[in-house]
Amino acid sequence: MRDRLRGGALYRPATVGPAGLGFSAGRLIAVSRTRDAWRDRYAAFTARKTQLAASAALPPYVTAFDAPDPDLLAIGNDWSRALFDGPFYVSPPRDPARPACSLVFVQSADGNTGADDPGTLGGGDTDKHLIYEGLSRIAADAVLAGAETVRGAEVIFSVWHPQLVALRAAMGLPRHPLQIVATMRGLVVDDVLLLNVPEVDAVVLTIASGMRLMEGALRERPWVRPVVMDAADHLGRAFDLLRGMGTTRLSCVGGRSLAAHLLAADLVDDVYLTTAPQTGGTPGTPLFQRPWNGRAIVRKYGTGADTDVVFEHLVRGTHQRPA
């Protein structure tokens, strides 16, 4: 039985899974059919993502500058270094009790991040397949998303290009990062692919009222663990709990509301920001809603179809955690 995390303390649910819930035979058959349907959707989803990644034409980036701090870790293989024009960097955890955390965003030329499909903002295929669904999460134990980024979207946050899958395996990491969804109001669990695939571990990061709404659905899905905060601004404590669950490195894929909470709580170490050449997106949706004490250590430019795309790696201004 998995441990469940609540209010900072570990607790074990009285029963986990259909067998422990006294379901009728008819209900068990219905649950089993539903699981088969999700497995089929998952198989189709992974086949589609793999095919898209493997067949995408990826124009390489060229480096404008590359000036990492000495403590940054360089990752990559020959394939990624050729496309990215060098190594990709990740910060080590500042505090052994908390995961290192990065944000990965694409913005329009006028700084908007909101879009039903962020791919339409114009970051290009190299950003999508090499950075977003690649290097930014290749070393991550977990990917974190806000509920609005997940609702209505068929997503599993992972790496898909065969070269990146091989690189992640060579790092000794599981095929898919832990999928974490943050929600205060709660999710309709039955609607969310990434909470319905038993081989993909997941966490819902929520508060007590959200947990109450999801409790029944989660009891039927023992691979989804709740982390229940006392309040939505207790993300630091939630990070401590996630570290206790084995998450050393976490990639937050947005959106900007969740990112704002992480930035305000000083939990962000790296920002991977791609700027498209064209204006667009939902007006008034910048990533940084307040100034952030970050500085660029890497800048790259796109080539070919991605000409005028700009990629920047920003790191937190100081590596000292405030007392």
Residues whose CB is less than 8 angstroms from the CB of residue 269 and which lie 6 or more positions away in sequence, other chains included: 91, 93, 94, 100, 101, 102, 315, 316
Nearer CB in complex with ligand NAP: 164/267 = 267
Assess 102 for contact with ligand NAP (CB under 6 A).
Answer: no
**Residue 262 CB: number of other CB atoms within 10 A?**
21
Using the rule CB under 6 A, is 130 a contact of ligand NAP? no
Least distance CB 248 / ligand NAP (angstroms): 21
Q: Coil, helix or strand for 72?
A: coil
Least distance in angstroms from the C-beta of 235 to ligand NAP = 5
Minimum distance of ligand NAP from residue 66's CB (angstroms) = 23
Least gap, CB of 257 to ligand NAP (angstroms): 3
Could you say whether residue 258 binds ligand NAP (CB under 6 A)? yes
Give yes or no for residue 124 binding ligand NAP (CB under 6 A): no
Among 31, 184, 193, 264, binds ligand NAP (CB under 6 A): 184
Give the C-alpha separation, 31 to 42, whole Å: 16
Residue whose entry in the numeric block shows the structure tokens 């052994």: 96
Calpha distance 261→240 (Å, rounded)? 16
Q: Quick one: which segment of 10-18, 55-63, 146-154, 213-221 binds ligand NAP (CB under 6 A)?
A: 146-154
126 sits near ligand NAP (criterion: CB under 6 A): no
Nearest Cα neighbor of 58 from 304, 285, 238 is 304
Does residue 137 bind ligand NAP (CB under 6 A)? no
- Tell me the backbone φ, ψ of residue 105, rounded to 5 degrees: -140, 150
**Residue (16 or 241) nearer to ligand NAP, CB:** 241
Burial grade of 233 (CB within 10 A; 0-12, 13-18, 19 or more): exposed
User: Which residues are at the interface with ligand NAP (CB under 6 A)?
Assistant: 105-106, 113-116, 118, 121, 146-149, 182-185, 205, 232, 235, 253-258, 261
